[in-house]
A = this chain, B = another copy of it.
Amino acid sequence: MSDRDFEYKLVVVTRQDLKLSPGKMAVQVAHAAVSCALSAKRGEPEWFESWYGEGQKKVVVKTPVLQDLFALKQTAERAGLAVALIQDAGMTEIPAGTFTCLGIGPGPANIVDKVTGHLKLV
């Protein structure tokens, strides 16, 4: 399956500066993905069903700056995409309330790429 077979995607933007352990990062990304998927299922059911039916493509990218999460959230919302800004419960590794990542989508790849296409893969 090549990248071009996917017309829908969900992107999770993570904070490079937090240097989370792989397990901790996986949990944060999964929080964002579940929240976004449920939000899109309600708000954009056709996008959600297309994405899920294709195999729920997910991409994890990174940003060096916390403030980027807030700016990207606004841009994604204006594009009509579901968003989920995740704060950690703070039981391990980082203080409670730390913003860890931002989920965007699922939505059409060309719309999502306009928001996150410039960010590097984790």
- Chain A, interface size: which category? 20 to 34
* Chain B contacts for A3, CB-based, 8 A: 91
B30 close to A58 (CB less than 8 A): yes
B1 close to A91 (CB less than 8 A): yes
Residues 1-44 of A, flagged 1 when their CB comes within 8 A of B and 0 if not, give 11100000000101000000111011101111111011001000
Which residue of chain B is the closest to A59 with respect to CB atoms? B27
Bound CA–CA A35/B1 (angstroms): 20
A66 close to B (CB within 8 Å):
no
Task: Identify the A interface with B (CB < 8 A).
Answer: 1-3, 12, 14, 21-23, 25-27, 29-35, 37-38, 41, 52, 55-56, 58-60, 89-91, 96, 121-122
